[in-house]
Amino acid sequence: MYTTLKEVTRKAEELNYTVGAFNAHNLEMLPDMIRAAKEQGSSIIIQTSVDTAKYIGHENLVAVCKSMATKEMVDVALHLDHAKNFDDIKEAIDKGYTSVMFDGSSLPFKENIIKTSIVVKYAHKFGVSVEGELGTIGGTEEGIHVDEDKKVYTDPKDAIVFVEATGVDALAVAIGTNHGQYKSKTEVNVPLLKEIDAVVDVPLVIHGGTGVKETDIPELINNGIRKFNVGTELLVAWTKTAKETFGETKETKSLRHNIIPCNQAVKEIVKHKINIFMNKNE
């Protein structure tokens, strides 16, 4: 079923697992990401940045997610990642995304509340879920770099006020993770996550999932993480494989011979992550 973030995270909360939210970087990799979820018997959140949505076309992304959700009988939510302005959010909602993130994390607290509330009001009219963010997550997102010393961790007291005032369906927390960290692993602040989870009752979201140690994931799940973002790891696997296949290819060889292994590499990572996210190894 083509569904929402709210619905897939509700089920995850009931059964104590987390839903993988995987960034699609091109249309080629998308079907295999959804097939991976089907093979693992899991729901999936497909997410794109604003720029990727414009590059592929919102309607094309919606069409593929909808048709595959029906054909493969998988719960698929399509989410707009890190949108910073209302027009981009409105466009995604109007064109059929089922979930959006308004990232007001760099704004003053009150402004973040006001702008997130406007998004929630609009999105909820169409049954679309909204993720908000408090605190700053390090690293690079679509070329915007957040320096290590500018990182602000999520304050649990602010989280209570923010969730209550905005009505968001999920909250991205800054607990030490970084976007785009794939050469090393981060130290997540689990005590802070516990504090936030104790006072806030919406699903919590991890950004920068590539840089999280896989051995830390069960503890994050046990402390309220219901959406787990992974992007860079997929991007790196696709690109590395493409370098190999395209590097060796004859120019007249059918493209699919070079692209199928790239999609396959992404599929294997999505399957592997979902296996951990579903707590299958417990």
Q: Which residues bind ligand 13P (CB under 6 A)?
A: 23, 81-82, 179-181, 207-211, 229-233
Closer to ligand 13P by Cβ: residue 161 or 236: 236
In this structure, are residues 75 and 8 in contact, taking their beta carbons and an 8 Å threshold?
yes
Shortest Å, Cβ 40 to ligand 13P: 19
In terms of CB distance, is 51 or 164 closer to ligand 13P? 51
As measured in angstroms, the least distance from the Cβ of 23 to ligand 13P is: 6
Q: Looking at beta carbons, which residue is closest to ligand 13P?
A: 231
**Contact call for residues 220 and 26 (beta carbons, < 8 A):** no
**Side-by-side strand order, sheet with 138-141:** 144-146, 138-141, 178-179
Provide the minimum distance between the beta carbon of 235 and ligand 13P in the complex, in angstroms, as a whole number.
Answer: 7
Q: Taking the C-alpha atoms of 133, 137, 139 and 141 in order, what is their torsion angle to the nearest 10 degrees? A: 0
C-beta of 251: minimal distance to ligand 13P in Å?
Answer: 32
DSSP string, 31-74: HHHHHHHHHHT--EEEEE-HHHHHHH-HHHHHHHHHHHHHHHT-
Q: Of the two residues 180 and 218, which places its CB atom closer to ligand 13P in the complex?
A: 180
Q: What are the structure tokens assigned to 26, written together?
A: 């091109």
Give the contacts of 67 (CB within 8 A, at least 6 positions apart). none
Nearer to ligand 13P, 53 or 230 (CB): 230
> Cβ closer to ligand 13P: 113 or 212?
212
Q: Which is nearer to ligand 13P, 50 or 128 (CB)?
A: 50
The pairs formed by 80-85 with CB atoms below 8 angstroms and a separation of 24 or more are 80/47, 80/48, 80/49, 80/50, 80/53, 81/21, 81/23, 81/47, 81/48, 81/49, 81/229, 81/231, 82/49, 82/50, 82/141, 82/142, 83/50, 84/50
The residue among 152, 143, 139 whose CA lies nearest residue 106 is: 152
Annotated catalytic residue, options 32, 75, 81, 103: 81
Q: How far is the CB of 133 from ligand 13P (least distance, A)?
A: 9
Coil, helix or strand at residue 196: helix
Q: Judge whether 51 counts as a catalytic residue.
A: no
Instruction: Supply the residues annotated as catalytic.
Output: 81
